[in-house]
Structure 1
Amino acid sequence: MNYVLYAMPFFFLLIGLELLADRWRGMRTYRLADALNSVSAGVLSQAIGILTKVVVLLTYAFAWEQLALFELSESSLWVWLFAFVFYDFCYYWNHRLGHERNVLWAAHAVHHQSEDYNLSTALRQTSTGFIFGWIFYLPMAVVGVPPLVFLSVAALNLLYQFWVHTRHIPKLGWFEWLFITPSNHRVHHAQNPIYMDRNYGGVFIVWDRIFGTFQEELDEEPVVFGVTVPLASWNPLWANLQVYAGLWSDARRASSWWDKLRIWFMPTGWRPADVAARYPQAKADLSHFRKFEVPLGRGAQVYALLQFVCYLLAVVWLLAQGDALATGAVLLACLWMALGLYSIGMWLENRSHAWRLECLRLAINLPAFWLAGELGMLTLDATAWAWLIGYSLVSMLGLWLVPRVGRTGTPAARSEANSPHIGA
């Protein structure tokens, strides 16, 4: 069962309720571009996950079949409870090392790049975490946790983490001692020095208390959300590549071959001495912190939101199809989705080429859907083609009606977008 698919309506219902709470309490925890960027990263992650989940499934199943020390029954409630707790223990170390080692941070950084903190931030997930993430859960296979139980508790762990991404829930008394809560997870998303690299648990905070990584949220130290080298972009593709690009740039510039290799596995923020000397990086000054923002007219914002909804519905359909689609068809869907989300990101950034890119995206839709039909991915009758052509024409009309004033290029805040990451 795809728990995420069935949970999605509840996710967006709760996001709607949080927006109402914002209005009622006079808070502003959402910005449209930031929220769309977060959910875009989640959409991309879910789409690519259909292709990459085989890495986790095959490695776990193989380890379970060949190395399991015990034969645990998936019909036993105790096995499920044990697996739920054990998974969170493994998650703690996966999450912790994801903050402490460069190459692991490169994958995980996506989740921390938002400078807002709301329920849409919970949907901001990596598309590259599958590369190393599977390693941390192999102990569960060795102990004998069946694959079905493993996949189920993994999904439940992820679902639990959704509700803690909010600023509207205060500290929860005794609950704070045992479980991850909005308060102690706000700490985890902070870039304040006192809060950084703390509170790694997914469901249970006890691991942090045991291993010395717990930090309470302090009234005298308001949380500043985000990462120390900002993404400064609404592009979900760049969000997934930013830290990798920074590490690659430093590795390429390093004079020592040993440094070129070890930079990937060194503690987060480590840089070769010669590179750091030639290309110094300034630390963020939180006393003058300003969120990344790009001025955009109301019409342009509405256009971006409506276009994004189409991709959100597309990923829901894709998840619903599950394993029924051929690999080539899923790959085509991922490429189509990546282009669309990239184009919407450029539109939100008010890039000078965004209008032309949108025209290209809309023009590509028809041949892309025709190819999907040829691959057996879709069955498009005359009515479906009429809807698709109608959507394209209405979108083109909207594109022409939206004022193009101010679409001159890159704001100064974006100059940081190409800077390599040095930690969070």
Structure 2
Amino acid sequence: MEQYAKILTIAMPVFLIAVLSEKLYGWMKFRHSFKHMDMISSLSSGFTNSLKDALGLGISIITYSWMVTNWAFFEIKSTVWVYLIAFIVLDLAGYLGHMLSHKINVLWNRHLIHHSSEEFNLACALRQSISGIINIFTIFLIPAALVGVPAQVIAVVAPLHLFAQFWYHTTYIGRMGFLEKILVTPSHHRVHHAINPQYIDKNHGQIFIIWDKLFGTYQEELPEEPPVYGITRPVSTWNPIKINWGHLWLLMQDAYRCKSWTDKLRIWFMPTGWRPADVEERYPVYKIEDVHNFEKYNQQHSGRVMVWIWCQFLFTFLLIYTLFSNLAQIGFQNAVLCGGFIMLGIYAYTELMDRNPYAWLWEALKNGLGLGILIYMGNWFGISTPGNWLSYFLGAYFLLSSLITFVIVRFEIKKQPARQTEQVVDYSIS
């Protein structure tokens, strides 16, 4: 846990710089709009996932180390070849788990967040799940366990395999020649994120595109069919916590509302998007029918409000960085409390991004909790500074933040139209 948190203290600033650099490049070279809210939503989703993973808030039905200990036929040493085998097996396991997440209703909830952005860029790569609390896909690592690939090797390779999937989430890299036959490239992954009928549920590979070609899920990007991104049932929110649980909530409602007991049970395991006929008739859900003609979610804000939301985002970044840098000192229980506080803060400022008139209440709740922590502990989770300046700074921030958010809600959100729309634009480079 602590080791992974240390890795994240390096990875997080690198990812943030890469995301901002891509946005700056697109604006300077092509005059593409910056889309602040979508980018902050994506980065905030990365925050929530990092917190869940670094704090170990997940359960594996069966762990890899247990499988190696109990099932391995051989005991092999950690050589270069073992690391290569581990990487290939992880990639195959990733392909299989990824494919199933697209095919089965209940599993789609853990993956929907990654596809929820209606843009395709490096930021959307960071839209990762917090709803996949129970990990069932470790079972796909059985081949590595049987031949005795050490658990330590998997622990090293897994983060590298995950981070290697970041770079190809971009529209600014065209076809890559021979690499298109072996690796997942931006062109392949643009297809995967598209909602065009011929592109849906294609190209599930994570590093190697070979799996898709072997199992019949490959689709080339077509020049005459520019990819359109998002999901066919738009989430219509910037709040990553709501996005993470929205599909599951719909499944629960449908299971409760439908009359057939058979439907109540099978809805969870049916193909993604399936709903009982009686529920679909009585409780219709909007679905995009014409992918080239629909309104993107695009809540508009004044420049002042965008500056404040950026301040909230950067403050959250500093809180997470401080938590990960001092995880051993803070301790597990306090780290979970701090993580919960940060989650509440993300919920609050993304509700403001959604122009929710009750956003100030969420902000006040977050800041009240923050003040309570400071008063009860005498500092911020045991992190002491000369003159206790950190506590004074945080106390002032909590008070000022509540006031500023209340003023924004009162004088900007409640007095201005709630929504603007945006046309679908293709930024792909063929």
Letter in 1 for 2:125: A
More moved, 326-335 vs 167-176: 326-335
Spell out the pairing of 1:16-415 with structure 2 (5 A cutoff): 16-28=20-32, 30-52=34-56, 55-56=59-60, 59-74=63-78, 76-139=79-142, 140-284=144-288, 285-322=290-327, 325-371=330-376, 377-379=382-384, 382-396=388-402, 398-399=404-405, 402=408, 404-407=411-414, 411=418
Contact 2:182/2:209 (<8 A) preserved: yes
More moved, 342-351 vs 139-148: 139-148
- Partner-residue secondary structure (3-state), 2:412: coil
* Distance in 1 of aligned mates of 2:86 and 2:378: 42
More moved, 274-283 vs 258-267: 274-283
* Distance in 1 of aligned mates of 2:348 and 2:63: 35
* Distance in 2 of aligned mates of 1:412 and 1:306: 23
Letter in 1 for 2:129: T
Could you state the TM-score of these two structures normalised by the residue count of structure 1? 0.90
More moved, 230-239 vs 281-290: 281-290
Contact 2:267/2:276 (<8 A) preserved: yes
| Residue in 2 that maps onto 1:422 | none
Could you state the TM-score of these two structures normalised by the residue count of structure 2? 0.88
* Per-residue Cα deviation, 1:251-271 (whole angstroms, up to 9, x for no partner): 111222232122112211122
* Distance in 2 of aligned mates of 1:331 and 1:92: 31
More moved, 61-70 vs 162-171: 61-70
More moved, 294-303 vs 374-383: 374-383
Contact 1:79/1:145 (<8 A) preserved: yes
* Per-residue Cα deviation, 1:262-306 (whole angstroms, up to 9, x for no partner): 211221112223323333445312232221011211111110111
Q: 1:247 to 1:61 in 2, by over 3 A?
A: same
Unmatched 5+ stretches in structure 2: 422-430
Q: 1:281 to 1:251 in 2, by over 3 A?
A: same
Letter in 2 for 1:158: L
* Distance in 1 of aligned mates of 2:74 and 2:307: 56
Letter in 1 for 2:242: W
More moved, 33-42 vs 349-358: 349-358
* Distance in 2 of aligned mates of 1:265 and 1:57: 18
Deviation at 1:104, TM superposition (A): 0.9
Deviation at 1:158, TM superposition (A): 1.0
Deviation at 1:194, TM superposition (A): 0.8
Letter in 1 for 2:272: T
* Per-residue Cα deviation, 1:147-200 (whole angstroms, up to 9, x for no partner): 121122211111111111111111111111100111111111111111110111
- Report percent identity of matched pairs: 36
Q: 1:374 to 1:68 in 2, by over 3 A?
A: farther
Letter in 2 for 1:13: I
* Distance in 2 of aligned mates of 1:260 and 1:39: 36
| Residue in 1 that maps onto 2:9 | 5
* Per-residue Cα deviation, 1:364-388 (whole angstroms, up to 9, x for no partner): 3221344566896544663222222
Contact 2:38/2:117 (<8 A) preserved: yes
* Distance in 1 of aligned mates of 2:358 and 2:417: 11
* Per-residue Cα deviation, 1:94-115 (whole angstroms, up to 9, x for no partner): 0000100111111100110001
Q: 1:358 to 1:404 in 2, by over 3 A?
A: farther
Q: 1:68 to 1:128 in 2, by over 3 A?
A: farther
More moved, 1-10 vs 179-188: 1-10
More moved, 56-65 vs 173-182: 56-65
Contact 1:98/1:105 (<8 A) preserved: yes
Higher relative contact order (CA 8 A, sep 6+): 1
* Distance in 1 of aligned mates of 2:257 and 2:354: 30
Q: 1:360 to 1:132 in 2, by over 3 A?
A: closer
Letter in 1 for 2:109: A
* Per-residue Cα deviation, 1:225-261 (whole angstroms, up to 9, x for no partner): 1000001011121011111001111111122223212
* Distance in 1 of aligned mates of 2:281 and 2:405: 47
More moved, 341-350 vs 367-376: 367-376
- Partner-residue secondary structure (3-state), 1:292: strand
Unmatched 5+ stretches in structure 1: 415-424
